[in-house]
Amino acid sequence: MILSLDTSFITDGWAGHLSYLLLVLSMLMRSMLWLRLMVVASALAGIAFDYFWLGNPVGVFWQSLLVAVNLAELAILWRNDRRAVFSVEEDAYRTQLLAGLTPGQARRFLDRGRWEELPEGKILTTEGQTPEFLSYLSSGEVAIHIDGRLVRVVEGGHFIGEMSLVGEDGAVATTILQTPCRVWRIERDKVLRLRETNHATLAVLEAAFARDMRSKLIFENARS
């Protein structure tokens, strides 16, 4: 038995195909803004298909409701983005490592943690032990020790403790503040909770971890 694809399957129902294609593509969006815009576009194509091709009022109703809900969510995103305000150091953090989040999402994430002035000699992570916090170093210097040996000094603009979140193991190094530092810190449990409560923010954060680790490796390779 030979299966063939009737061209009418494609040409006669192109709006239906477009609707599902846009819906699938929306699931690939890392940005919540683009995800919702793609869902709205998918629903609009679905409305056209249900109304003009199928004459299906039930489909038109539910697709219209989907458009309304997502437009309302887009309005909330727009409002939160308009209200979001950042300090200079927060804006640098957001631009460098949280660029995938909307201003409103970034503001909510930053509010989960806190900024601290930490003294020289403070230990952020201990090799082999699970860190209590994920830290972002805004300014200052941190000494990285592995097996008791100083391997490098990290300056501002990097995460500290992200490796244990990626692998869920203990810290790969002991990190000690070499100077007084300005640090943003968030409890590890709050970050892990994003897996259940906010997949979009977690995806952006994991991508930021990867970029930050890559930049550290590039720095090390350039030195060696």
Residue 145 φ then ψ, to 5°:
-115, 130
The 10 Å CB-count burial string (b at 16+, else e) for 24-57 is: eebeeeebbbebbbbbbbbbbbbbbbbbeeeeee
CA-based nearest residue to 220, from 158, 161, 176: 158
How far is it, in rounded angstroms, from Cα 29 to Cα 14?
23
Supply the CATH classification number for the domain 88-223: 2.60.120.10
Strand 114-118 versus strand 181-187 pairing type:
antiparallel
Q: Is the dihedral of CA 107, 123, 193, 214 positive or negative?
A: positive
Q: Maximum Cα–Cα distance for the chain, whole Å?
A: 76
Domain residue ranges of the chain, discontinuous segments joined by +: 7-83, 88-223
pLDDT for position 213: 87
Per-residue pLDDT tens digits for 107-146: 999 999 999 999 999 999 999 999 999 999 999 999 999 9
> What are the pLDDT digits (tens) for 27-82?
888 777 889 999 999 999 999 999 999 999 999 999 999 999 999 999 998 999 99
**Tokens 């909510």 found at:** 108
pLDDT tens, position by position, 19-29: 999 999 998 88
Q: Which residues contact 67 (CB under 8 A, 6 or more apart)?
A: 40, 43, 44, 47
pLDDT tens-digit series, residues 183-194: 999 999 999 999
